[in-house]
Amino acid sequence: MSRAQRLNAEEVAKRLNGLPGWRVNNDTLSREFTFPDFVHAFAFMSSVALVAEAMDHHPDWSNVYSSVRISLTTHDAGGLTELDFRLAEKINALYTR
């Protein structure tokens, strides 16, 4: 049983409207973050990792030098849930550039 309910298209659009920098594609919420260098990008990833672990909701992500790409979806719900948007909000709050 899913711990979170999948949001419908209207709910996703409403939540996305208040989430700068993020986009939705194929039931995935994603954003790319850029930094001055690798050390700043890695520090950001470390901060995100702590928040994600506390929420027990982990991103799909990649890092190439000074950029970090993050994708969020709730696999056990088969799409986007409130949990994805809450994590995205926390990630945005961590992004200082």
Where are the chain's structural domains? 9-94
| Cβ count within 10 A of residue 42 | 15
69 by Cβ neighbours in 10 Å (0-12 / 13-18 / 19+) ranks as: middle
Q: What is the pLDDT of residues 32-81, one digit of tens each?
A: 999 999 999 999 999 999 999 999 999 999 999 999 999 999 999 999 99
Please tell me the class of the 9-94 domain: alpha beta
Which residue has better confidence, 28 or 18?
Answer: 28
pLDDT tens digits for 4-16?
899 999 999 999 9
